[in-house]
Structure 1
Amino acid sequence: MNRLNSITLFVLLFSALIYGVIEWRSTTIEEDTSIVDEQRPNFIAEKLQSKIYNDLGELSHTIEAERMEHYADLAVSYFERPNYILYPKKNAKPWTVSAKEATLYKDNRVELKTQVYIQSTEVGSLIKEIHCKTIALDLKTNIISSEQAVVVIGKDFTMYGSGLIIDLNTKQMTLTQHERTIYKKYDES
């Protein structure tokens, strides 16, 4: 092989190598970009305020949040500092539920996490407020549940336990594991 053929072969192989590296890098960049695009929300709402009505036109619940991100492909919405007001059936007094963060799934199930606070708005309610780390809330049935430790503060008592189920429509509460209850003393003078 003469010298000219060797140089031509070298340039051809070198060009093919450069072309291969450029193609490989561009496909890697495209894959990284598509992963980033999948993680971007379809829309973001700041200072969200929303009212949701049931099929009969009655107010079901309201939601206020500092921020909401909706991901259509995942069928999920994330909330920062959500505050729900839940309206039970039969015109019962509403309950408020707040937390640092929440996730709403397409089946109307909400998982609230970190500093969850549940409060009754009924003046003479036996249960005033409930504190826990996480809860699951079914917006269709108004049933709240948690496997975590809970503190229930009521009229003249504080109850500690874990595993909680509350049906806001019937006002029934079940505590799976009761640890202790502290009663407030009455002053009968």
Structure 2
Amino acid sequence: MNKRVIALLIILFAIGALLFWRPFSSPDAPTKQKNLAAMRPDFTAHGMKSRIYEPNGRLAHQLQAKLMKHYSQIGLTELRSPRYTAYPEDEAIRWTVTAEQGSFYDDKTLVLEHNVNITSVSPDGVKQVINTDYLIIDLLSETMNTEYPLTVESARYTIRGEGMRADLAAQTMEIKRHVETVFLPRR
């Protein structure tokens, strides 16, 4: 036999063995498809608002988003353009937080990402805006935390830092690493 014929037979045999063996198909492909199907949201809502009340009936928190997708299997609600508002007792400083996206977990933790803006307005009208890219809000302990760079802006100053911890109930905020403060003159 000719060397070319032998080489052709070997190649055809190898192709036939590959087609029969199918190493390119995953044996757990049906399992992956089941997992994807299991991860479909239980519900999707547009423009939904969720309000959390204290036992005495006072509105404590409000969470709204342009789009919400809830996955009960993993205790997660995905949020598009979320807006969180904390309503403190005694008409203290009101905090409103917005972001491009977020995740709300069953343990009452809200994680906000991308272009996070925290606006606080005191009862006497003093406004302060904090910008960062990532923020964790614990609704049970009423705290906000980030390790990311942030900017605090008001009419009189601009502060840059890294990391922050805020206690909504105590009305306190601490910057973990101060970078720069710029005071602005009165106009």
TM-score under structure 1 length normalisation: 0.78
- Structure 2: gaps spanning 5 or more residues: 1-20
What amino acid sits opposite 2:107 in the alignment?
D
Is 2:104 the counterpart of 1:104? yes
Q: How many residues were matched structurally?
A: 164
Partner of 2:156: 156
Pair member with larger Rg: 1
- 8 Å contact kept, 1:127–1:152: no
C-alpha separation between the residues in 2 aligned to 1:144 and 1:125?
Answer: 22
TM-score under structure 2 length normalisation: 0.79
Report the aligned-residue RMSD.
Answer: 2.2
C-alpha offsets along residues 77-123 of structure 1, whole Å, 9 cap, x if unaligned? Answer: 11000011111233324210000011111110111000000001325
Sort the Cα spacing of 1:45 and 1:181 in 2 relative to 1 into closer, same or farther, 3 A.
Answer: same
C-alpha offsets along residues 149-184 of structure 1, whole Å, 9 cap, x if unaligned? Answer: 010112400000011011122221111100110001
Is 2:169 the counterpart of 1:169? yes
- 8 Å contact kept, 1:68–1:78: yes
Sort the Cα spacing of 1:89 and 1:138 in 2 relative to 1 into closer, same or farther, 3 A.
Answer: farther
Partner of 1:79: 79
Partner of 1:144: 144
- Structure 1: gaps spanning 5 or more residues: 1-20
C-alpha separation between the residues in 1 aligned to 2:86 and 2:156?
Answer: 25
Structure 1 stretches of 4+ with a deviation exceeding 3 A read 27-30, 123-127
Partner of 1:67: 67
C-alpha separation between the residues in 2 aligned to 1:172 and 1:131?
Answer: 17
- 8 Å contact kept, 2:42–2:70: yes
Sort the Cα spacing of 1:39 and 1:60 in 2 relative to 1 into closer, same or farther, 3 A.
Answer: same
